[in-house]
Structure 1
Amino acid sequence: MDDLEEAAENFEHYRFVAEQGQQPLRVDKFLMNFIMNVTRNKVQQAVKDGNVLVNDEVVKANHKVKAGDVVRVVFEYAPRETEILPENIPLDIVHEDDAVIVVNKPAGMVVHPGHGNYTGTLVNALMHHFKNLPENADGRPGLVHRIDKDTSGLLVIAKTEHALAHLSQQFKDKTSERLYYALVWGNIEEDEGTIEGHIGRHLKNRLMQDVFTDGEHGKPAVTHFKVLERFTYVTLVQCELETGRTHQIRAHFKHIGHTLFNDERYGGNTVLKGTTYTKYKQFVDNCFKLIPRQALHAKTLGFEHPTTGEFLRFDCGVPQDLIAVLEKWRGYTLTNS
């Protein structure tokens, strides 16, 4: 998978605080008492997956809930059986031929339908504009890879079964080229470098990914980066993905202390670097308003054409929200240098 997220909409979340007077009760029974229509199997699966937490600690089914305990559970959602309907949504098509389509996805567009997002997705748009797209292993028309809802940039879509298989193998073999622009908190002193570390589901927050340097959890992940511009308290970097794990760039840069700018899920939506002056805080808040999402853009995409064998490389411009926040930081840096 690409640097994408199993979005929050793909999960059901519950949080309970055990009331005073609560007698010790197994957490699985506690949840069945509090969640309407939940089955024992569903609760037991959530426990098995490590998705049941008491006071932010993963627990087993026989853990006893006591008064004052905070109980949280995340159920992974099985998509409902429903027909995906074509929708006349405009697409920014960068390239199209008989085998492939390259699109520039705007920030805010979900790639495929899922819990809470059955309409308005890239797949709904593709089904309107293109007929008989091949389905991938998950039954999603044309999709070779994905990027997260709030990440903008390039995706390649397959128009034939052969193209789907060929492109998917390239992503698996790491022969495709994927370059991202990211604005991150802090001054990265090295001009370039490589971040390595297994990436897997966070042990406490199941909607995040974490880096496990000992390799005990997750899968190997490698991100190469090059500094493009420094703004004292934030840095613009170019990231090249050697692997494509969920949230790879976001998790890797948080791991090295440089969380993506305005990445709410990973804590980048507060002032992480800089001064305590009120004017500076207001400046950062104004920057957040300019780019109300994580500052991440899939700028360049390269792959071998599945029919001709020619290596194609596509590049899309930096979106206006990222341009605006970069200009604001440039102005701040010049004024305060």
Structure 2
Amino acid sequence: MTIPVIEWQVTDASDRLDRYLADCLPDISRSHLQRLIEQGQVWVNGQVCTSKKVGIQAGDRLQVAIPEPQPLSLEPEAIPLEILYEDDALLIVNKPAGLVVHPAPGHASGTLVNALLAHCPHLPGIGGVQRPGIVHRLDKDTSGAIAIAKTDQAHHHLQAQLKAKTARREYLGVVYGVPATNSGSLDFPIGRHPIDRKKMAVVPESAGGRRAITHWRIEERLGNYTLMHFQLETGRTHQIRVHSAKMGHPIVGDSVYSSGRFVGVNLPGQALHAWKLQLQHPQSGHWISAIAPPPESFTTLLTILRRRITV
């Protein structure tokens, strides 16, 4: 199958390649164009260019091949979704603990993406073949609010908000022990664990860690446990779980980063819930605040811990 190619000549000295293409092709998001550059689908003066930062000059001849969206090998599955907000551009759902967000080795089906394809059949091609519409992620065993883009423009806009830290993500979690102060911030870089590659860890930036910042405050003291409010400034893999363990107060029920002590409640995952998601609508610019009610297991845990301190 022939891939359609767009070709033109630059008339004025301009910016770097990806920005120039985004101005010339407003119907294609900049993130999509960056992927095309990385995939070798862009030529500058007859040579494949895989650097999005290369400078474009007057007289340069550009060619862009735009493949048709690849068909998904994933099957839609009628998995129930708890919808917190939805319109033509955006969907926010309350993901249950135990549900994997997108396909990965060992999870080829039964994911949030499979459920989304059944709910929104037009998602293929938005944000990638295996992750259609997914803007950010939640760990399998973390519940709560997650945003899904329903158009390419919305996907680009929402990702830009996360990068610029204008989108606000707030979590509730129950930790072991009680912090010495009422609030604070954790600023420790996070990277892949040097020995156990399935885990993340606090890793110096010089060794590949990426800066990670978590703000926290105590919501309620529960004897030897604490209900905490977390706000993410960055979004590293397992960030709250790693930072909580680093401060000596790991998340209850976290089998990876805590001792896994039984607390009297059969939790489906760690006691961590993405409680609130605040972002700007990608079309109207209006602020949207979606609150995800905690799952029954989370509220049951709080009830049991409250009873213990009153006995």
> Which TM class, normalised by the smaller chain length?
0.7 to 0.9
Equivalent in the alignment of 1:150: 141
Structure 1 contact 224–242 (Cα < 8 Å) conserved:
yes
CA contact (8 A) 1:198 1:215 kept: no
Contact 1:184–1:259 at 8 Å: present in 2 too?
A: yes
Match in the other structure for 1:262: 253
| 2:70 counterpart of 1:94 | no
Identity %: 42
2:99 aligned with 1:109: yes
Distance 2:204 2:175 in 1: 21
Match of 2:174 in 1: 183
Deviation (angstroms), 1:188: 1.2
Equivalent position to 1:193, from 180, 184, 197: 184
RMSD: 1.6
Listed as ranges, the matches of 1:129-278 within 5 Å are 129-133=119-123, 134-137=125-128, 139-212=130-203, 216-270=207-261
Question: Contact 1:254–1:260 at 8 Å: present in 2 too?
Answer: yes
Verify the 8 A CA contact 2:86 2:92 in the aligned structure 1. Answer: yes
Report the CA distance shift for 1:162/1:227 in structure 2 as closer, same or farther (over 3 A): same
Q: How does 1:121-136 map to 2 (within 5 A)?
A: 121-133=111-123, 134-136=125-127
Task: Give the match for residue 5 of structure 2.
Answer: none
Structure 1 portions without partners, runs of 5+: 1-80, 271-283
Partners of 2:248 and 2:272 in 1: CA distance: 17
**Does residue 286 of structure 1 match 2:240?**
no
Corresponding position of 1:315: 291
1:227 deviation in Å?
Answer: 0.3
Q: 2:280 corresponds to which residue?
A: 304
Q: Hey, what's the Cα distance between the residues in 2 that align with 1:214 and 1:145?
A: 23
Aligned counterparts of 2:128 and 2:148: Cα–Cα separation in 1: 14
The number of residue pairs the alignment matches comes to: 240
Paired amino acid for 1:226: R
Name the amino acid aligned to 1:105: K
* Residues 233 and 216 of structure 1, relative CA distance in 2, 3 Å threshold: same
Displacement of 1:196 in angstroms is 0.6
* Structure 1 residues 169 and 82, CA gap change in structure 2 (3 angstroms): closer
The CA deviation string for residues 1-59 of structure 1, in whole angstroms up to 9 with x for no partner, is xxxxxxxxxxxxxxxxxxxxxxxxxxxxxxxxxxxxxxxxxxxxxxxxxxxxxxxxxxx
Of 73, 80, 85, which residue of structure 2 is paired with 1:83? 73
Contact 1:208 1:265 (C-alpha < 8 Å) held by counterparts: yes
Whether contact under 8 Å (2:188, 2:202) holds in the other structure is yes
2-structure distance, mates of 1:147, 1:125:
15
TM-score with structure 1 setting the length: 0.69
Correspondence for 1:21? none
When residues 197 and 285 of structure 1 are mapped into structure 2, their CA distance, relative to the original with a 3 A threshold, is: closer
Equivalent-residue separation in structure 2 for 1:190 and 1:267 (angstroms): 21
**Whole-angstrom CA distance in 2 between matches of 1:229 and 1:266:** 22
- Give the whole-Å Cα distance in 2 for the aligned partners of 1:89 and 1:137: 21
Which residue identity is paired with 1:86? P
Amino acid at match of 1:327: T
Structure 1 counterpart of 2:285, one-letter code = G
Conserved 8 A contact 2:190-2:209: yes
